[in-house]
Structure 1
């Protein structure tokens, strides 16, 4: 799935298109045993590992065209492609994050190029993104005082996302130039891998690090800020106990996982997982982690 519009230069992933890298990032994220999320050993009533694998394949083609199609139309095309293979919202947040990242010119690093992509978004981009959001039907959105997704937008995509930046981690990336993805999560992930961590523990550690720092806004919307704050506290406790690399950390991780799943998907830290997917894409695209060749042992490091 390479082509002039999607080729990535430099780094171990240089032979793969941005769409293929997006697909790989999605597969890696959903296959890691992150607490409270879907993975091969855990699902929700209406969400299963296979749904995410099908969705990952669906968005590769549309994201390959992001540089030429534009951010809004790419968001809509990827959402439409997803709805053709699954019946539930598996990846709207992922698409909203990956479309602008995929639109950065191949010869430019993401940190250097994302600002110009975001600054160039238009009202038409916002209209297409609103259509995608309505198609995906995410839970817990409620009504916004300005530029609500049920209405037609009158501002650019970056502007309407910025209005939600204080209450939505995904929208915040449009406002702050993907700071949490490019300056926090991707470096966290890359540092762990360079330090010798297998990829799955690095992914889970990055997830825990983000959740400890930032309340998950999907949890806030569905269960309230107090529950989200408790999720962040518990994630920090896992890290303080040594993370997945120690027996004490893994014990805390199991406790966190059980607590997050205690009420079905109500406490699902899905926004944090979406940021991890974007960080995986960024690290693969910019060559700061290698393409996975060997999945490694089934257990955690230190088992």
Structure 2
């Protein structure tokens, strides 16, 4: 039986049948599998961070995300990071977990656009304490110190207030303060538009990843390398997009050059925050059955 015949006969298989845990794991797997510029993927490891680390981490977080709607955001985040650290020795997924947990906590009967605001506005002091514990356990790189809501200090009563204090320097925090506007109202619609054009999900993810860098730079690059380097990365990403469409040879040549530049400084210019946003949008699309198989 051909693949096309198999798919046509199994067209009743819908992605909305995925549970929250399955959607979280699949989203993380799809994100890391796509050969995005400057990131770990199936064809490129870092010296101390590998594709296999991310695969194991994707599996680890599934149970915590499965029960996020009942345990709450803070407990889901901490449980996911604890499970991850049982399998890998470095931070692979803190940003993804911080983004996916609130989305996974939205009850299945509610839309994400409406439900995410309810989840964020219901965060408690316990959520804040648990999230701060998870961040310390994950030990993310380039955190530095902040004048307000420093992660090295005691957890504040309001996690939402802490995220709002950090929104100008961190795109993950900005999602909490804007009801996930970039993820739900920008990235996901762009991925769906690419799907309608017939783009493969891989090409779709790669292009959207570059577009995000061009518009927002990348929080991780800024923290590790400084704002000047982050701005330079944005300008480089804009040049890639201007080089041509997704099937243009000039675009792919520019993409390769950009990838080389991002990896050239000991992988310090790793646009990891942008990748986390992609994973969150993939979760949203899978959760609501908007991103359809096959995922090629």
> Which range is displaced more, 143-152 or 207-216?
143-152
- Of the three residues 166, 169, 183, the one matched with 2:168 is 166
Q: 1:222 to 1:14 in 2, by over 3 A?
A: same
**Aligned residue for 1:91?**
93
For the Cα contact (< 8 Å) 2:125–2:158, is it kept in 1? yes
SS of the counterpart of 1:85?
Answer: coil
1:285 partnered with 2:272: no
For the Cα contact (< 8 Å) 2:73–2:127, is it kept in 1? yes
For the Cα contact (< 8 Å) 2:26–2:58, is it kept in 1? yes
In the TM superposition, 1:22-37 aligns within 5 A as: 22-37=24-39
**Aligned residue for 2:260?**
258
* Shift in Å, 1:212: 1.0
Which runs of 5 or more residues in structure 1 are unaligned? 1-9, 296-303
For the Cα contact (< 8 Å) 2:16–2:286, is it kept in 1? no
For the Cα contact (< 8 Å) 1:76–1:132, is it kept in 2? yes
For the Cα contact (< 8 Å) 2:16–2:288, is it kept in 1? no
For the Cα contact (< 8 Å) 2:64–2:80, is it kept in 1? yes
SS of the counterpart of 2:140?
Answer: coil
**Aligned residue for 1:197?**
199
**Aligned residue for 2:234?**
232
SS of the counterpart of 2:36?
Answer: coil
Number of positions where the alignment pairs a residue of Structure 1 with one of Structure 2: 285
For the Cα contact (< 8 Å) 2:21–2:66, is it kept in 1? yes
**Aligned residue for 1:67?**
69
For the Cα contact (< 8 Å) 2:56–2:88, is it kept in 1? yes
Deviations 1:238-291 (A, max 9, x none): 11112442100000000000000001221000000000000111111122211x
Q: Which has the higher helix share?
A: 2
* Shift in Å, 1:294: 5.5
Scaled by the length of structure 2, the TM-score of the pair is 0.94
**Aligned residue for 1:300?**
none
1:211 partnered with 2:221: no
SS of the counterpart of 1:14?
Answer: helix
For the Cα contact (< 8 Å) 2:60–2:80, is it kept in 1? yes
**Aligned residue for 1:221?**
223
Deviations 1:48-82 (A, max 9, x none): 10000000000000110100000011100000000
Output the CA distance in 1 between the equivalents of 2:24 and 2:247.
28
**Aligned residue for 1:100?**
102
> Which range is displaced more, 12-21 or 96-105?
12-21
CA RMSD of aligned residues (A): 1.3
Deviations 1:141-187 (A, max 9, x none): 11121221112223211111111001000011000110110111111
**Aligned residue for 2:80?**
78
Moved >2 Å (runs of 4+) = 292-295
SS of the counterpart of 2:16?
Answer: coil
**Aligned residue for 1:42?**
44
SS of the counterpart of 2:277?
Answer: helix
**Aligned residue for 1:301?**
none
**Aligned residue for 2:8?**
none
